[in-house]
Structure formats: structure tokens, C-alpha cells
């Protein structure tokens, strides 16, 4: 039994089999997102390059390079089997977690007040970006193992691991990524059949942790206070972004005519959607939102008939995490959420973000490829052995 329109045949060459089983619509949406990122990079990066005394398109060229690497990594990852995805993700998780632990001793903050990066001279690396997709797959593996007869306590193990990671992210501090990690675990736990009561208890715990962070972290409190304030300081990034979105209207002020890129220091990263809204208007913003929604909905739709527990859990976790990260980035720009310092996948500038995004979407496309589904009776018999 198979689902999908073009199931592969035994003995078919690798590339035709890959092309016939991949979700081509989602793949096209990813390429369009990357194209939008380059288009917006042409608008947003020259002011930053001018401030730093660099070639006007220095950052666009770097984004094109890292994006090419990300797309190549994504293409290779989509060709993997779910078993290979799981094995490499677990190894990647161990490496990324070790890098996260060493950040307080070897990392740098680049003057932003949060130690999140390793500086390698010619490039910087943010371990949390690579941790997320590997974490999602590792947690899905743990919870899937708990469904097996005599399996380990995967739910408890994954929760303990999640809390440890959240603790290290809070030390940076990086509460945005910490919330995303908690969300990913909650999605996987929910899909695995978690009782609603327990999820409510965990939600209350998250609120309690947020209250504690507000009272103990000046960095966190400053961002929350700025979000809750009824007045927006026009000289802050949120103020500039809000004005730009308002000025853009439905059709935008015109290509190259936007002014927010000259004021926003993070116009090419965290607030790239403000540049899109000002120069191209609501039309481009809705188009970008549609691309993200298509990728997420298509993935969940293809996973609905998946009978392998691990594939279903890992795919749902990757799809929802990808979509929520995009939603958080855009929500911050329109002041629906407090500032998080989170990039817009495949659109924002950043080598770590682009390559990690390529890995995450590559895993998702690999898990949602059309493949034969064994009969449900055969699966139950194999589990009972």
C-alpha cells in the first residue's frame, strides 16, 4: 500500500526515484523563499555594508554562498531514508549539544548582550540553530521507542533532556530559542498521545518559568517591558519596523525607495519582513506567509497516513517548529510578540540560519517522501515479536 501519486519502483535510478517521491510543491516553495531572501537582501544589505566600509553587495554575495550550501545540504538530506535521518540527527545532536555547553567559555556575544555564537574569524556559528532540527528528531526517536513493547521511558527521558537544553539556552540568554525547543517537545508529545491535562500542567509551568525569568533577568525584563508598553519609542528597532510596515501599505513605496533599512541595524536579519512590507507592501508579505503555510500544511497532510511512529512524530515536530519560527519572526516585526532575536527561515541573512534551515527542511522532505506503507497487520505482528 502506498500514498501519493507516483510511488517508486524497485530498481529505478536514484534521481528519478527521488524526483517521483519528493514533495515537489514544498521544494518549490523553499526555492521561492530563498529567492525572496536574495531579493530583500539586495535592498537591505547595502546600508549595512556602507556602515562597515564594505562592497555594497558584500552581504548579498555571502547570503548567496551560504544559501547555495544550504540548498545542496538540503538536497542531499532529502535522499536519506528515515533510519539514516535518525542516526545522523542523533550524532548531530550530540555535537550541537556539546557546542552549546561550551558556549559560556568559548563563545562571544558580538556586543549584543547574549553569548550565542562561536567566532571563527571569517564566519560565526550559532550552535542553537543546528541543535533544533537534531533535537526534534532525537526526541521523536525517544518517544517512538516508548511505544515499543518493553521500550524505554522515552517521554520522561525526552522531558529531562528538554529541560537541560532550555536551561543552557536561558544562560546565554536566548529565551526565544528556549521557547521554540519547549514548543517542539510539546508538539511531539501531543502527537504521541499525551494527555491534555499534562499539557496544561506543563503550560502553567512555562508561565511560572517566564515569571521567574522576568524577575531575575534584566535582558528578558527589558524586552517584555518594551512589548507591553502602550507607546513605542520611534528610535527603537520595533519603532522603525512599525513605521515601515505602516508606510508600505498594500503595494509598498517602490523598489529601492524604502528608508527603514538605513535605520534598522538588523534590517537584513530579524526585521527583514519590515523591509519587504515597506518596499513591496502587504502583497509580498502575504505571498511569503503563503509559502510557509504551504510547506507546513503539505508536510502534515502527507504525514497523516504515515504508519511509522518515528516518522510521524519527527515530521510533525520539524514542520511545526519551522512554521512557528517564521510566525514568531513576523509576529515580532508587527509587535504581536516581544522581541526574540529569531531569524526568518531561508529569507533572513545568516550562514548558521540558512544551513540549519536546509538541514531541517531536508529532513522534513525526506520523512514526507512517498514510500510503501506496510499493512497494519504486519506492523502489529512485528511489534509483538
Q: What is the spatial distance between Cα 307 and Cα 106, in angstroms, rounded to a whole number?
A: 43
Q: Look at residues 322, 342, 319, 317 and name the one whose alpha carbon lies nearest to residue 332.
A: 342
Separation between Cα atoms, residue 224 and residue 49, nearest integer Å: 31
Looking at residue 258, what is its pLDDT?
A: 78
CA 167 – CA 231 distance, rounded (Å): 32
Q: What is the pLDDT along the chain (385 residues), one digit of tens a residue?
A: 344 444 555 556 778 888 889 999 999 999 999 999 999 988 888 888 888 888 888 889 999 999 999 999 999 999 999 999 999 999 999 999 999 999 888 888 776 767 888 888 777 888 999 999 999 999 999 999 988 888 888 888 999 999 999 989 988 878 888 889 999 999 999 898 877 777 777 778 777 777 776 677 666 666 666 666 655 655 667 777 777 888 888 888 887 777 777 777 777 778 888 889 989 999 999 999 999 999 999 999 999 888 899 999 999 999 999 999 999 989 888 877 777 778 899 999 888 899 999 999 999 999 999 877 654 444 444 555 5
* Beta carbons within 8 Å of 136's beta carbon, 6+ residues apart: 184, 188, 314, 317, 318, 321, 360
The structure's pTM equals 0.88
Residue-wise pLDDT for 68-121, tens only, equals 999 999 999 999 999 999 999 999 999 999 999 998 888 887 767 678 888 887
- Please tell me what DSSP assigns to residue 108: B
Domain boundaries, the chain: 29-384
Q: Which long-range contacts (CB under 8 A, 24 or more apart) does 262-268 make?
A: 262/47, 264/237, 264/240, 265/48, 265/237, 266/237, 267/44, 267/47, 267/48, 268/40, 268/41, 268/44, 268/45, 268/48, 268/59, 268/348, 268/349
pLDDT at 236: 67
- Read off the pLDDT of residues 293-311 as tens digits, 9 standing for 90 and up: 999 999 999 998 888 999 9
Annotate 115-160 with three-state secondary structure.
Answer: CCEEECCCCEECHHHHHHHHHHHHHHHHHHHHCCCCCCCHHHHHHH
Strand partners, 199: none
What is the Cα–Cα distance from 226 to 330, expressed in whole angstroms? Answer: 17
Amino acid at each position: 500500500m502506498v500514498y501519493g501519486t507516483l510511488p517508486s519502483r524497485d530498481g529505478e535510478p536514484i534521481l528519478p526515484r527521488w524526483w517521483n517521491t519528493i514533495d515537489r510543491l514544498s521544494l518549490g516553495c523553499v526555492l521561492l523563499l530563498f529567492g525572496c531572501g536574495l531579493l530583500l537582501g539586495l535592498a537591505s544589505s547595502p546600508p549595512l555594508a556602507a556602515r562597515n566600509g564594505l562592497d555594497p553587495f558584500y552581504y548579498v554575495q555571502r547570503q548567496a554562498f551560504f544559501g547555495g550550501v544550504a540548498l545542496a545540504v538540503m538536497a542531499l538530506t532529502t535522499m536519506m531514508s528515515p533510519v539514516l535521518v535518525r542516526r545522523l540527527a542523533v550524532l548531530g545532536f550530540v555535537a550541537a549539544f556539546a557546542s552549546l555547553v561550551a558556549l559560556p567559555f568559548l563563545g562571544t556575544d558580538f556586543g549584543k548582550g547574549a553569548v550565542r555564537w562561536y567566532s571563527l574569524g571569517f564566519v560565526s556559528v550559532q550552535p542553537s540553530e543546528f541543535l533544533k532540527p537534531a533535537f526534534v528528531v532525537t526526541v521523536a526517536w525517544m518517544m517512538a521507542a516508548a511505544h515499543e513493547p518493553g521500550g524505554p521511558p522515552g517521554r520522561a527521558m525526552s522531558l529531562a533532556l528538554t529541560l537541560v537544553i532550555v536551561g543552557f539556552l536561558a544562560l546565554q540568554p536566548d529565551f526565544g530559542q528556549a521557547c521554540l525547543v519547549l514548543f517542539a517537545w510539546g508538539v511531539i508529545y501531543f502527537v504521541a498521545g499525551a494527555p491534555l491535562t499534562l499539557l496544561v500542567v506543563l503550560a502553567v509551568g512555562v508561565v511560572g518559568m517566564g515569571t521567574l525569568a522576568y524577575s531575575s533577568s534584566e535582558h528578558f525584563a527589558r524586552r517584555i517591558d518594551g512589548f507591553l508598553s502602550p507607546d513605542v519609542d520611534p528610535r527603537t528597532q520595533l519603532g522603525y519596523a512599525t513605521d515601515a510596515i505602516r508606510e508600505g501599505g498594500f503595494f509598498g513605496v517602490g523598489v529601492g525607495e524604502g528608508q527603514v533599512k538605513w535605520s534598522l541595524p538588523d534590517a537584513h536579519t530579524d526585521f527583514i519582513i519590515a523591509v519587504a512590507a515597506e518596499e513591496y507592501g502587504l502583497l509580498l508579505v502575504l505571498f511569503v506567509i503563503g509559502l510557509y503555510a504551504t510547506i507546513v500544511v503539505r508536510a502534515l497532510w502527507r504525514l497523516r497516513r504515515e504508519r511509522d511512529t518515528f516518522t510521524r512524530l519527527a515530521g510533525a515536530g520539524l514542520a511545526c517548529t519551522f512554521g512557528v519560527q517564521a510566525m514568531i519572526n513576523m509576529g515580532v516585526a508587527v509587535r504581536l510578540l516581544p522581541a526574540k532575536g529569531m531569524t526568518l527561515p531561508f529569507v533572513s541573512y545568516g550562514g548558521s540560519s540558512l544551513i540549519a534551515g536546509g538541514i531541517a527542511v531536508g529532513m522534513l522532505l525526506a520523512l514526507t517522501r512517498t514510500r510503501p506503507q506496510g499493512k497494519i497487520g504486519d506492523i502489529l505482528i512485528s511489534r509483538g515479536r
